[in-house]
Amino acid sequence: MNDVEGTIARIAAADDLPALDVVRVEALGKSGWVTGLLKTLGGMTPEERQLRGPEFQRVRARLTDAIAQRREQLEAAELERKLATERIDLSLPAPEHSRGTVHPISQVMEELAEIFADLGFAVAEGPEIESDWYNFTALNFPPGHPARAMHDTFYLQRTDADGLPYVLRTHTSPVQIRAMQERGAPLRVIAPGRVYRSDSDATHTPMFHQIEGLVIDRAIHLGHLKWTLETFLKAFFERDDIAIRLRPSYFPFTEPSAEVDVGWSLEKGRRVVGGQQGWMEVLGSGMVHPKVIAAAGLDPDQWQGFAFGTGVDRLAMLKYGMDDLRAFFDGDIRWLKHYGFSALAVPTLSMGVGA
């Protein structure tokens, strides 16, 4: 049998990983001497194999353990050397411009939260997977309403306690019901978040963002709604020449209901919000229907309120001159660099929400 102790000594003397690997191959490689010993077992008698087999295996195990131990020592020594010699110079100048940007949707969400916080609104949230009751029934949608149709709504296989399928919420209005149930009245909240509808083109996507506002109190009327919307739109578009008009409309959860148009004008060939050269629809609104207030557990004879809602993506397009909603979700780094915001551009009413 070859010199085991001599091989152990060579392993201990190896001063780097390549030298250690040379010893390993000579002993344990395919042509190594330990491997050769193991191959001789096939030509032995059963008695000799029973005697010599365990001895050969002990030799291989001893050398394998010695090599593993020495490898660990050499790797630890190499790591210590790198830690002692390599360093990062923290004094190097930072890039002139940060690489990441804040997505326009996130920026507009922050702008809206800042504006409505100044008006006394709290932020309310709810689940994106909703029961039929919260998404439709509690909001006064009758069973045969077109909004329940399969071509508009994403239905799930999971069903609620009434056996009706859960849905990906089609609007953030269910948060109104949850907020009234959890917080009672008086109440003043906004509900921003993602919503889902089966639609896709330059101005529609299957997933988009909405923000809704809800005020519940005593003696609330349309005048309060109109003032709130005018104040909000002037602060968001940062213009004092904002003009709005309310057109009669219909929503199941408000009565009376009104579409809200905002005036626009042409500046450098582009349509911008402000002035009265024309009108465009930006909001839906109305007085909260008594049935919705009752569904949330409040007495509609004691409490009244108004609600309004709009698409966050649409507001971003109007304010920052974007013409295709699909680009919001393409993840194109060039688009994000062009339309994105600096992480330090935090919206404030004092510095300007569009800073």
- Please name the residue that has the structure tokens 């809800």: 214
End-to-end CA distance of the chain: 82
The C-alpha atoms of residue 41 and residue 290 are separated, in whole angstroms, by 93
Q: Where are the domains of the chain?
A: 4-85, 104-339
The DSSP result for 168-200, as a single string, is E-SSSTHHHHHHHHHH-SSEEEEEEEEEE-S--
Per the structure block, which two tokens stand in for 25? 């191959």
Rounded-to-10 torsion of CA 234, 237, 238, 242: -40
Calpha distance 171→156 (Å, rounded) = 16
Whether residue 334 contacts residue 248, with contact meaning beta carbons closer than 8 Å, is answered with no
Task: State the helix-helix crossing angle for 222-237 and 312-320, rounded to 10 degrees.
Answer: 50
H or E segment and range at residue 33: helix 33-39
Residues annotated in the binding site for Mg(2+), as ranges?
255
Q: Which contiguous run of DSSP H or E holds residue 12? A: helix 4-13
Tokens, residue 215: 């005020």
How much is the pTM?
Answer: 0.67
The HSE-up count of residue 190 (CA atoms within 13 Å, CB side) is 26
Q: Could you tell me if 328 and 206 are in contact, meaning their C-beta atoms sit under 8 angstroms apart?
A: no
C-alpha to C-alpha distance for 112 and 108, rounded to whole angstroms: 6
Task: Round to whole Å and give the CA distance between 22 and 11.
Answer: 9
Out of 3.40.50.2300, 3.30.930.10, 1.10.340.30, 3.40.190.80, select the CATH number for domain 104-339: 3.30.930.10
Q: For 114-135, what is each residue's pLDDT tens digit?
A: 999 999 999 999 999 999 899 9
Q: Are residues 108 and 147 in contact, defined by beta-carbon separation less than 8 angstroms?
A: no
Cβ partners under 8 Å of residue 48, min gap 6: none
Three-state DSSP state, 207: strand
| 305 contacts 216 by C-beta, under 8 angstroms | yes
In 3D space, the residue among 191, 149, 147, 196 whose CA is nearest the CA of residue 169 turns out to be 196
Q: Please tell me the distance from the alpha carbon of residue 48 to that of residue 346, in angstroms, as a whole number.
A: 83
pLDDT mean by block of 10 residues, the chain; 355 residues: 78 88 86 83 84 84 89 90 81 70 86 91 93 91 77 83 87 94 93 85 76 94 94 90 91 93 83 83 94 94 94 87 79 82 70 55
Q: Looking at residue 128, what is its pLDDT?
A: 93
Neighbouring C-alpha atoms within 13 Å toward the C-beta of 320 = 25
Going by the annotation, the residues of the binding site are: 255
pLDDT at position 258: 94
CB of 304 within 8 A of CB of 216? yes
Contacts of 146 (CB under 8 A, 6+ apart): 152
Q: Judge contact between 206 and 153, C-beta under 8 A.
A: no
pLDDT for position 98: 60
**Could you read off the pLDDT of 45-86 as tens digits, one per residue?**
888 888 888 888 888 888 889 889 989 999 999 888 888 888
